[in-house]
Structure 1
Amino acid sequence: MRLTSFTDYGLRMLMRMASAPDRGFSTAELAAEFDLSRNHLSKIMQRLAQAGIVETRRGAGGGAVLTRPPGDIRLGEVVRVLEAGQALVECFGPGGADCTIDGCCRLKVRLRSAERAFLADLDRSTLADIALPAPVSV
C-alpha cells in the first residue's frame, strides 16, 4: 500500500504536534521545520480540523493544537481522514464499475481485505507511539 504525500506530510505534522500536545503550532513553523510548502500544509491542517483531530486558533498565541491526547488518536483514523477519496486501485473509486473484468475478478476482494488489515494494524498504534522527540533548545 502506498500513502499519498498529503498523508505523509499530515502524519509528520501530527508527529511533531504530539511531541508538545499543549502547544500551538503554526503551519509556517511546521513548513519550515519539514521544508514543505506552507500552502500544502494549510490544506492538510484544514482537513485535520474538519475531522476534529486538530483545532486551529487565530491570533497571538494561536496555531493548531490536538483536540485529544496523542494516546487517544489512532493512526488508522488519521490515515482514513487524509486518504479520503483516494482509492487503493481504480476499481475502488468512483466509476470503478466500468472495469472490464468486474464480476469475474478475484483480486478485488483480496485487495479490500489487505486494505482493511493495513488500517486495522494502524489502529493498534497512536500518535503517542510515533511522537517526535522534542527539539533540543540550545
Structure 2
Amino acid sequence: MRLTTRTDLAMRVLMFCATRRGRLHRSIDIALACNVSVNHLMQVVPVLHRLGYVVATRGRSGGVELAARPEALRVGEVFRHFEAQLPFNECFSEGGNTCPLTPCCRMRPALAAAVEAFYAALDEVSLADLVADNSGLESLFAQNAADPVPKVCARAQATPGRSAGPRVR
C-alpha cells in the first residue's frame, strides 16, 4: 500500500500545527518546515479547512492553525478522508472495474479486510500521539522554519528591474 502525496502533506501540516498550537502559521513557514512546495501545500490546506481539521484565514494577517485538540484527531479519519476516494485496486472501483475475475475472486474480500485493518490500526493513533513529547520533531520543524528567505522569494528580489524596497536618492 502506498499513500498519496496529499495524505502525506496533510499529516505534515497537522503535525506542524499541533507542535505550535495557539497561533496562526503562514503557508510559506509550513512549507519550509515540512520541506514541501507552497503550491502543493495550497492544494491540501483548503481540504483540511473544509473538513474542519484546521482553521485557515486568508489575507495578510491570515494563516493556518489547528481547529481541534490533537487528542481528538484520529489519524485513521484523516487517512480515510484523503485516501478513501481512490479505490485500492481496480476491482474496488464501482465504475471502472474491468477485471474479469471479480465475480469469483477471493482476493477482493481479503484485500478489503486488509485495508479495513490498516484504517482500524490508524484509528488507534491520535495526532497527540504523534507529537507529544516529540522533541526531535519540534527541533526539525524549528530548524527548517528558521531557514533564510525561500529561494523563490530570493530569485524574485534578484530579478533585474525589480526594486527590493523604496528608492533612496
Are the aligned partners of 1:85 and 1:93 in contact in 2 as well (CA < 8 Å)?
A: no
CA distance in 2, matches of 1:26, 1:84: 29
Tell me the equivalent position of 1:12: 12
Q: TM-score, normalised by structure 1?
A: 0.89
Alignment of 1:1-138 (within 5 A): 1-131=1-131, 132-133=137-138, 135=142
CA deviations on 1:60-98 (whole Å, 9 max, x unpaired) are 442111111011000001111121422211221242442
Are the aligned partners of 2:75 and 2:123 in contact in 1 as well (CA < 8 Å)?
A: yes
CA shift, 1:100, in A, is 0.9
The 10-residue stretch of structure 1 (57-66 or 71-80) with the greater mean CA deviation from structure 2? 57-66
CA deviations on 1:38-65 (whole Å, 9 max, x unpaired) are 1111111111111111111123442111
Are the aligned partners of 1:15 and 1:127 in contact in 2 as well (CA < 8 Å)?
A: yes
Taking a change above 3 Å as real, the CA distance of residues 103 and 111 of structure 1, as seen in their structure-2 partners, is: same
Mark the structure with the bigger radius of gyration. Answer: 2
SS in 2 for 1:64: strand
CA shift, 1:35, in A, is 2.4
Give the aligned CA root-mean-square deviation in angstroms.
2.0
The amino acid across from 2:116 in the alignment is R
SS in 2 for 1:98: coil
CA distance in 1, matches of 2:32, 2:59: 19
Are the aligned partners of 2:90 and 2:98 in contact in 1 as well (CA < 8 Å)?
A: no
Q: TM-score, normalised by structure 2?
A: 0.74
> Which consecutive unaligned segments of at least 5 residues does structure 2 have?
132-136, 147-169
The higher relative CO (CA closer than 8 Å, separation ≥ 6) is in: 1
